[in-house]
Amino acid sequence: MMRSALLLVVALLGGIIRLAAQEAVEARGITPSIKLEETVFSHMDELNGKFKMRATEVTFAPGAHLGVHHHVGPGIRYVLSGELTFTEGGKETAYRTGDYFFETGNVAHTADNKTDLPLRILFVELLPRDWTGPTVIPPKP
């Protein structure tokens, strides 16, 4: 059921997301590096050939900021080193080295490195197969 709902949301919003991605999200001191992208082929026939998994290592310099944004698709985040200040719905959460967290993709939030050390995060995301750009998008008005 959850898998079907996810597929429906991604399919319906695909066109809207592509338009929104043309707008910029405020970003300072952030460097992404895509490490792996693979089209999904598995026992889940409804996903096959329509989606891909992407792993991206993102480095936040000391004082880096990623403004209010959503993500194209859902994903798991793993803090490789440093500390992330994640703000969603007015609530700040600190994620530190070794912490994992999940983002649905459709909830606006910000991300900051408020420390004087670099922050490295591994993003693993589910995306439409033909998605080529960054996965952060501005929230819908």
Domains identified in the chain, total number:
1
- The residue among 114, 117, 121 whose CA lies nearest residue 97 is 121
Q: What is the pLDDT of residue 3?
A: 52
Asked if the model's pLDDT at residue 17 lies above 70, the reply is: no
Is the model's pLDDT at 21 over the cut of 50? no
DSSP 74-124: -EEEEEEESEEEEEETTEEEEEETT-EEEE-SSS-EEEE--SSS-EEEEEE
Which residue from 58, 64, 101, 104 is spatially nearest to 81, judged by alpha carbons?
A: 58
For residue 85, give its domain range. Answer: 2-137
Dump pLDDT digits (tens) for 74-110.
999 999 999 999 999 999 999 999 999 999 999 999 9
d(CA 53, CA 55): 7
Whole-prediction pTM: 0.81
Check whether 7 has a pLDDT greater than 60: no
What gap in Å lies between CA 19 and CA 32, rounded to an integer? Answer: 21
Give residue-wise pLDDT tens across range 31-72. Answer: 999 999 999 999 999 999 999 999 999 999 999 999 999 999
CA distance 137 to 125: 14
Length of the chain (residues): 141
CATH number at residue 57: 2.60.120.10
β-strand pairing of 83-88 with 109-112: antiparallel
Instruction: Grade residue 141 by pLDDT with cuts at 50, 70 and 90.
Output: confident
Rounded to whole angstroms, the Cα distance separating 129 from 73 reads: 11
Question: What is the predicted pLDDT for the residue at 140?
Answer: 79
| Three-state DSSP state, 10 | helix
Residues 101-136 have pLDDT tens digits of 999 999 999 999 999 999 999 999 999 999 998 999
